Structure 1
Amino acid sequence: MSILVTGFDPGRDGVNASAALVTSLRDDLPADLLPFRSQLHFAILPLSSRELGGAVLAQVAASRPRFCVFTGQARGRHKVNLERLATNLKDFESPDVEGGQPRGELIEPAGPAACWSTLPGQQQMVDRLNDRGIPAALSNHGGNHLCNQLLYQMLYWARQSGSGVRCGLVHIPPLPVQAQTQWPETPVMPLAMTRAALTCILLVLAAQLAEEITP
């Protein structure tokens, strides 16, 4: 069993806070996570509504995870947010990398209106982050763009397939460089802090994974 951690490709913008975070951990794993290196799998997913589902399922097939931690950047957020649920709705305010911009479309026509995150211990994770001086909170709305689509598709797939994969979404603020070059009004969070936040989250999951593996 393993943990799959994903971010989104930078696309045309050239920088995506989630891609920077996941790539940073993949290439320079913090010391606390080194004992779990073999169980951690990192992937960057496309900014394409059409390709997203197939891309993440390919990563799931390759890594056979017990837990999926999806990360995405959220302009305007000033905390690390763990999403409680995903809604069955694509309503893109801006187009994806292919120019697709669905408005008011269902993600899964036969699916429920919403699916609860199945990532365990989210309140515990939030409490740990705040105790470490990292602003964090649970969130009740993950937007209606690609992050929400990813979480909903995987929660629905896990339910339908009976795979037992447990999934959650972590939204992070943009990086300081993005405020300098793209969104001067947005709150930001340094990469060092988002690295510390995701490390903390992964340690909680790794400990649970170890308990499940131990006979």
Structure 2
Amino acid sequence: MSRVLLTGFEPFQQDTYNPSWAAAQLVQEKPPSGLEVTAVRLPCTFTKSIPALREAVLDTDPDLVVCLGLSPRRGISIERVAINVDDSPGLDNDGRQPVDEPIVPDGPAAYFSTLPIKRCAAAVQQAGIFAEISLSAGTFVCNHVFYGLMHLLETEAKQRRGGFIHVPHTPEMPAVSAYGVASMPVDTTAEGLRIVLATAAAHDSDIKVPWGATS
């Protein structure tokens, strides 16, 4: 049985709920066949998130690591590349706002996901759930964790694969009614994530198809 580490974030700022963590818990409760999923909640801070992720990787010894974050996008948004910069648009949960700081000094400018991202997105779409490929995880804590994960896998855990996925708001969250951001029921999000994990666990290689990215 393959072991999967699935992380989500704690609530951020005024929110009391984070769908990334809620969805991760649902997948842990009902994992895809043949997978053992451990869900871990990360702090939404620049200082604490990567150490917490590293500890979780070492504790669970997973074959596959997928980190989740919240974004005002339509559905399952699978990230392609993490960049080595923190350029925060606002304060994290510790009140920090790094600007133009490297995540890993002297580290590579970027890392690519080692998930079969197009294959995963296609599988989710075939199930009737919206999925997309994204070329930017931003420069807030989500990208920070994504880059930290890929650097960890490159330098300390080469036998493992991993990547990052943004999930949407849920319909009841304040931002949906206040700002009109897209939403998806968390049960649907969790089902899309199960498809991603099952697909990634079963396939090392990606499919070679054109896929225009919007973000």
What's the TM-score once normalised by structure 2's chain length? Answer: 0.87
Per the alignment, in what secondary structure is the counterpart of residue 65 of structure 1? coil
Alignment RMSD (CA, Å): 1.9
Q: Among all aligned residue pairs of Structure 1 and Structure 2, give the percentage whose two residues are the same amino acid.
A: 28
Alignment check: 8 A CA contact 2:175 2:181 kept: no
Residue 15 of structure 1 corresponds to which residue in structure 2? Answer: 17
1:133 aligns with one of 128, 131, 138: 128
**Paired letter, 1:174:** H
The offset of 1:180, in angstroms, is: 5.9
Q: Say whether residues 1:85 and 2:81 are aligned partners.
A: yes
What aligned pairs does 1:37-116 form with structure 2 within 5 A after superposition? 39-75=36-72, 77-116=73-112
Residue 212 of structure 1 corresponds to which residue in structure 2? Answer: none
Q: How big is each residue's C-alpha offset from its partner over 1:11-37, in whole Å with a ceiling of 9 and x where there is no partner?
A: 4421111011112223x315xx2543x
The offset of 1:162, in angstroms, is: 5.0
Name the CA distance, whole Å, in 2 between partners of 1:183 and 1:71.
24
Name the CA distance, whole Å, in 1 between partners of 2:141 and 2:55.
17
Q: How big is each residue's C-alpha offset from its partner over 1:98-149, in whole Å with a ceiling of 9 and x where there is no partner?
A: 1001111110111111111112x21111111111111111110011011111
Name the CA distance, whole Å, in 2 between partners of 1:86 and 1:65.
21
Q: How big is each residue's C-alpha offset from its partner over 1:33-69, in whole Å with a ceiling of 9 and x where there is no partner?
A: 2543xx2111110111101111001100111112111
The offset of 1:10, in angstroms, is: 1.1
Name the CA distance, whole Å, in 1 between partners of 2:17 and 2:140.
18
Alignment check: 8 A CA contact 2:74 2:183 kept: yes
Alignment check: 8 A CA contact 1:158 1:165 kept: yes
- Call closer, same or farther: CA 1:8–1:20 in 2, change over 3 Å: same
Q: Say whether residues 1:203 and 2:204 are aligned partners.
A: no
The offset of 1:73, in angstroms, is: 0.7
Name the CA distance, whole Å, in 2 between partners of 1:65 and 1:191.
24
- Call closer, same or farther: CA 1:112–1:208 in 2, change over 3 Å: same
Name the CA distance, whole Å, in 2 between partners of 1:40 and 1:148.
22
Name the CA distance, whole Å, in 2 between partners of 1:79 and 1:11.
19
What's the TM-score once normalised by structure 1's chain length? Answer: 0.87
1:173 aligns with one of 161, 165, 168: 168
Name the CA distance, whole Å, in 2 between partners of 1:182 and 1:105.
34
Name the CA distance, whole Å, in 1 between partners of 2:134 and 2:178.
22
Name the CA distance, whole Å, in 1 between partners of 2:161 and 2:33.
22
The offset of 1:83, in angstroms, is: 0.5
Residue 212 of structure 2 corresponds to which residue in structure 1? Answer: none
Q: Which ranges in structure 2 are unaligned for 5 or more consecutive residues?
A: 205-215
**Paired letter, 2:17:** V
Tell me the number of residue pairs that the alignment of Structure 1 and Structure 2 aligns. Answer: 202
Per the alignment, in what secondary structure is the counterpart of residue 149 of structure 1? helix
- Call closer, same or farther: CA 1:140–1:180 in 2, change over 3 Å: closer
Per the alignment, in what secondary structure is the counterpart of residue 134 of structure 1? coil
2:155 aligns with one of 152, 160, 163: 160
Q: Which ranges in structure 1 are unaligned for 5 or more consecutive residues?
A: 210-215
The offset of 1:164, in angstroms, is: 2.1
Alignment check: 8 A CA contact 1:179 1:188 kept: no
Q: Compare the two structures and name the one with the higher helix fraction.
A: 1
